[in-house]
Amino acid sequence: MVIRKLISIFFSIFILLPTLSHGAEKSGQHFALKAAFLVDIDSGRVLYQQNADRIIQPASLSKILTLFLVNEDIRDGKVKLSDMVRISSKAVNTKGSKMLYEKGKEISIEDLIKGIAILSANDATVALAEHLGGSVNKFAVRMNAKAKEIGMTQSYFVNPHGLPDNHQKSTAYDIFILSREYLRQFPEALGLHSMQYFTYNSIVHHNQNKLLWEYPDVDGLKTGYVRVAGFHMVATAKRGDKRLIAVVMGAQNPQIRAIQTAKILDYGFLQIRKKYHESIIGARLQYQDTYPSPSI
């Protein structure tokens, strides 16, 4: 009976070996990033973390919180997607990614949301913050209240778009908390974040998340960049019935950001597959212990 059990274990391991990456299994796994955090969203299992509590300027990842609040107001009936927003000079003159060029023009909340989620338009973010909060500063107060409410203990926001400010701060862990709660409350938002492009004012705007083209399982969520912090990304990917959220912060350039994020997701799906295989082997051994083969 012992010989049969050993043969069975050897056979199971032999079958599984080709599916495992030895490189991903090495202890001390490290990615070319300032910080990273990877979670199996369904089980809550942390699959990888690297400097997850390091304080870093969140850049445009701040817009996830802005979109969170916009979606709350829509859900609560305070505003509608079809509502029109009058564009201020402050919005038009906002630096960075743009979609607005005309003060006084009225644009729907729906188009502004698309501009934020897909183009990462800073001017659209200011326009919505002014419309919903009365001013950028008042909207930032709402942002910080919401961040505290959902458990972002190491974050502070002074603007809704993430343009550089030494007081604006977060961590990879806190950004995960934000992303998880955003998707939990508004899962339909993935339909927007997975759009590769949208057309506004006869101009085609492409999504800043290049993994939507390069990594088939990715369907969101947001990119960001400020010079002092580097290139960030929150990527969510679903393979089979498993969804992962990866937060990466501080890559040196957009290419490294995309490559490292893809590697982290690959690593996460590998860990899930290994866990599944280990459970199969464990169940098989338990069955053999309970129902041993008859002696020959």
How much is the pLDDT for 267? 96
Name the residue with tokens 């274990």.
Answer: 9
Q: Virtual CA dihedral for 125, 243, 177, 207, nearest 10 degrees? A: -20
Q: Virtual CA dihedral for 276, 278, 280, 285, nearest 10 degrees? A: -170
Query: pLDDT tens, position by position, for the chain (296 residues)?
Result: 443 343 333 333 333 333 223 233 333 578 889 999 999 999 999 999 999 999 999 999 999 999 999 999 999 999 999 999 999 999 999 999 999 999 999 999 999 999 999 999 999 999 999 999 999 999 999 999 999 999 999 999 999 999 999 999 999 999 999 999 999 999 999 999 999 999 998 899 899 999 999 999 999 999 999 999 999 999 999 999 999 999 999 999 999 999 999 999 999 999 999 876 655 555 555 545 555 555 54
How much is the pLDDT for 286? 58
Q: What CATH code is assigned to 29-290?
A: 3.40.710.10
How much is the pLDDT for 74? 98
How much is the pLDDT for 30? 81
Task: Provide the annotated active-site residues.
Answer: 60, 63, 120
Check: CB of residue 244 under 8 Å from CB of residue 269: yes
Distance, CA of 269 to CA of 274 (rounded, Å)? 9
How much is the pLDDT for 289? 54
Check: CB of residue 53 under 8 Å from CB of residue 173: yes
